Amino acid sequence: MELVAYARPVRCRLLAVGLVLGGLGPGCGRLSFEGDSAGVTPQPQITPPVPVSDPAHRATCPAVVWNGSGWLVAWRDGAATDSYFVRLDANGVPLGGVTPVSGLQQQLGGCPSVTWTGSEYVFVLARQVCVPHWVELYRFNAAGTRLGTVVPASPSTYDEFDPSIAWNGSGFHLSWTLRLTFPIPDAVRYARLDATGRPIGLDAPLSISTTYARSATVLGVPPRSIAVWGEEKAVGFATLEAGAIARQMPIPVTGSLIEPVAAAWTGAELGLAWLSDPFHLWFALADPATGTTTAPDEIVETIGQVRPRLAAYPRGFGLLHSYPMAIPSLKLALRDTSGAQVGDAIPLSETGNQPALAYGGDRFAAVYVEGDRAQLVFIKP
């Protein structure tokens, strides 16, 4: 039997409690697809959800990244005092236990962002002591071993949170939201970092709006990066070269108070998904050269969408979005390179939220929070 769209997920449960993730329930040691057989018309397939976070650290706002042969899933603990990660092989089998990112018990502001350089995982976290936040950078090798010491990656002169980092082939581009004293509006800034995470020169502004800007996402497109963020009535866009901003513009879009913005790059098309007040979800393709988009497609099901996530794959994009007021609440919609939706959205969870999405090998990895656990599902498009 194939597990396709509208198949009800089957749960796998951990037999052991604690930090050991090797003891999965019967048939759950490897996330496997049912119905892979020759002569059958290909249909999107999903695996049963498997919890990948441990019970000791209540999971919020997960992240997932593909390293070419396996996955890393990270999350912030519910007390917002640290972030943790677990490494998995290509089929979702854990490679070792849960690892803390910082090992400190200090307040965090925002969610972890992680990128893969080809040999290292690099995390950024917004750390808070007293009032201001600043961005810290942590490096780990492919085996999950910490490299070097923590690197202060932002100037920590004001309240800096919601960091995003991307590898550009020789170093990093880092963005964050800067919250100043009211009534001065939020702004988005960025910095260039070398291969060890050390800042190169001074940070600089990314946002264009003088009234509202926040929630930047940085995509690595070596030898450069692409940054997008939300502004009052536009998606901010910039191409970041090694030494400077090569292109910077607002892309006018439907709606106001745009936040957050999800983006993915296929190598030829830039896909954008964003929320607008009052939380309507939109999707469009953008032309980075002209700052224009295709006609935005409003994804209408119910008010209350949160945190869309977008990932590119060889045939287009996967858009993961959640509707807390609907059942099922979490769905994956496939879109081709023209931006058109392909088939019906694939239900993944009735109550899942705070999703993360990546593509690697022949599948999407969707991670979401259900209860206090980060759940992992694979989808073969």
Per 3-state DSSP, the chain is made up of helix, strand and coil in percentages (nearest 5) of 0, 55, 45
Q: Provide CB contacts within 8 A for 162, sequence distance 6+.
A: 109, 110, 111, 126, 176, 177, 214, 215, 216
Q: Is 60 a domain residue?
A: yes
pLDDT tens digits, residue range 299-335?
765 455 567 899 999 999 999 987 766 666 789 999 9
Q: Which of 138, 142, 102, 103 is closest to 122 using CA atoms?
A: 138
CATH of residue 142: 2.120.10.30
Number of domains in the chain: 1
Q: Is 330 a domain residue?
A: no
Q: Is 365 a domain residue?
A: no
Q: What's the domain range around 71? A: 50-307
Which whole-number Å values give the CA distances from 373 to 143, 329, 367, in the listed order?
23, 16, 10
Q: Provide CB contacts within 8 A for 200, sequence distance 6+.
A: 171, 191, 192, 193, 194
User: How many angstroms separate the CA atoms of 134 and 177, rounded?
Assistant: 10
pTM score of the predicted model: 0.86
Q: Is 3 a domain residue?
A: no
Q: Is 379 a domain residue?
A: no
Q: Is 338 a domain residue?
A: no
Average pLDDT over the chain, rounded to an integer = 82
Q: Is 115 a domain residue?
A: yes
pLDDT tens digits, residue range 233-290?
888 899 998 778 888 888 888 777 777 789 999 998 999 998 887 667 889 999 887 8
pLDDT tens digits, residue range 104-157?
766 676 689 999 999 999 999 887 666 567 888 999 999 999 999 888 887 766
Fill in the amino acid letter for 40.
V
Q: Which of 32, 84, 34 is closest to 58 using CA atoms?
A: 84
User: How many angstroms separate the CA atoms of 260 and 63, rounded?
Assistant: 15
